[in-house]
Amino acid sequence: MPHQTTEERRIPASAPRGAGYRRLFRLPGARAFTTGNLLARLPMGMFSVSAVVMIAGSRGSYALAGAVTAVGLAATALAGPWIARLVDRHGQARVAVPATLASVLGSLALLLCVRCDAPDWTLFAAYAATATTPNIGGLSRARWAHLLREDPAALHAANSFEQAADELCFMLGPVLASFLTGTFFPEAGTLVGAVLLLSGMLLFTAQRATEPPAQARSKAPSPLRSSGIPPLLACFTATGAVFGSMEVVTIAYADAQGHRAAAGVVLALQAAGSCAAGLVYGALKPAGLGLTRCLAAMAALTTLPWLSALLTGSLPALAGALLVAGMATAPTMVTAMTLVQRRTPADRLNEGMSLVVTGLLTGIACGSAAGGWAAEHLSPTAAFTVPAAAACLALLIDVTASGVRRRRPAG
């Protein structure tokens, strides 16, 4: 199918304007690419939990499981911008499909290494091979940014929907992974996740009419050199540490209470809170809720799981605390992602959003390793201070960067 021009792919002049979610899916092809993207994105909430359960159950070490997932996520963070640059230059379908195939082979290799009791180093190598996984949410956001570039209100709604979709997948993914690994066999979560990732990506990339056109080699500077991007990436890294540590620590806490299978449900409630908050935020777009206030709310609410574990020792109470704590996540991510889109050159958008994922994954990797170490060497309850500290660090970075920006004109 020949590529359409930029003008042909842009939102039609007759399309309804505004921020309503239903208006988004009246765009031709929007429902089809969203369906494929959601299928491909669901395993992103499965792989990490599946790997932790699979490795910890086989080798008896949460420290090893956290380290393996940390290495894999770090490798993904390094490979992500390179793959995104290829996507910008050659198009989504031509790059994302072979990259996904390579990632699926890495997941299957990890499964076989665990199943065959291979040496520990093979687990690190196999999980690192999944680093070619494309930034699936970024691919979808790039399509919305291309289609809705002349309608900022609709683009805000689309970004909010995408963040809610992220949270939905991270809500359902751990539950599905826990069900599969507990009901069938420990490797079932990884196997099903690999199948969903490949089939969803094939469906997503088949929707060529909504695909942004490939760009020639960009003359624009790297997004890293764009004003305001480095502090945002630092905030994303600290925020990723919140996510990575909270996941590992929650699994360890549930396991210590003899309810490992319930860990997925507990984590799902955190994602549910974020998903609901993201949808409300997209529909209402409250005035004056900037990034600093969102980060402050996240820092405050992230202390609730630690306080719950410390004061009650109850898994249901922890689940409720995670539900509330999750409500600050989506508004924070939507606000920060919108700032990245504004500050990134249009022909390097995939690369800019991939750098965001690089920051997140780097933080998740560090958080997973730190959370696993704290849960094993301190206690699962004390380990909940790791995500709380990471959230406070994200706020500190933003406040410091804001102060520097305010002082710069006076100099």
- Evaluate whether residue 8 is within a structural domain: no
pLDDT tens profile 57-83: 888 777 788 788 878 877 877 887 788
Give the number of residues written for the chain: 411
> CA 27, CA 8: separation in Å to the nearest integer?
13
In the predicted structure, residue 100 carries a pLDDT above the cut 80: yes
Give the residue, 21 or 188, on which the prediction is more confident.
188
Mind listing the pLDDT tens digit for each residue in 9-53? 343 433 444 446 777 888 888 888 889 999 999 888 788 888 888
pLDDT computed for residue 74 by the predictor: 76
pLDDT on residue 405: 66
* Per-residue pLDDT, 110: 92
Task: Report CA-CA distances (Å) from 312 to 265, 276, 319, 380.
Answer: 19, 26, 12, 13
Asked if residue 164 has pLDDT above 90, the reply is no
Alpha carbon of residue 379 to chain centroid: 27
Residue 260 lies in a domain: yes
pLDDT attached to residue 99:
93
Q: What is the mean pLDDT of the chain?
A: 81
Is residue 5 assigned to a domain? Answer: no
Check if the beta carbon of residue 95 is closer than 8 Å to that of residue 87: yes
Query: 84 pLDDT band (50/70/90 cuts)?
Result: confident
Instruction: Average the pLDDT over each of 110-124, 214-228, 282-296 and give the range with the smallest value.
Output: 214-228
CATH number at residue 387: 1.20.1250.20
Whether residue 408 is contained in a domain is answered as no
Q: Which residues contact 43 (CB under 8 A, 6 or more apart)?
A: 173, 192, 193, 194, 196, 197
Query: Does the pLDDT at position 198 exceed 90?
Result: yes
pLDDT at 135: 82
What range defines the domain where residue 121 resides?
A: 29-212+228-403
pLDDT (average), residues 240-262:
84
Q: Is residue 218 part of a domain?
A: no
Task: Give percent above pLDDT 90 in the chain.
Answer: 20
Per-residue pLDDT at 221: 62
In a domain, 120, yes or no: yes
Domain-located, residue 18? no
- Express each pLDDT in 267-278 by its tens digit: 778 878 887 887
pTM tops 0.75 = no
Q: What is the pLDDT of residue 39?
A: 92
pLDDT of residue 393: 94
pLDDT at 219: 62
Total domains in the chain come to 1
User: Do 178 and 53 meet the contact criterion of CB atoms below 8 Å apart?
Assistant: yes
344-401 pLDDT per residue, tens: 776 677 777 778 877 887 788 788 888 988 988 888 899 999 999 999 999 999 888 8
Q: How far apart are CA 70 and CA 158, in angstroms?
A: 30
- Maximum mean pLDDT: which of 68-82, 97-111, 150-164, 317-331: 97-111
In a domain, 24, yes or no: no
pLDDT band at 282 (very low <50, low <70, confident <90, very high): confident
CA-wise closest residue to 130 among 43, 214, 55: 43
Output Rg (C-alpha) for the chain, integer angstroms.
Answer: 20
Higher pLDDT, 90 or 175: 90
Main-chain dihedrals φ then ψ at residue 133, nearest 5 degrees: -55, 125
207 backbone φψ class: left, alpha, beta (φ>0; ψ -120 to 50):
beta
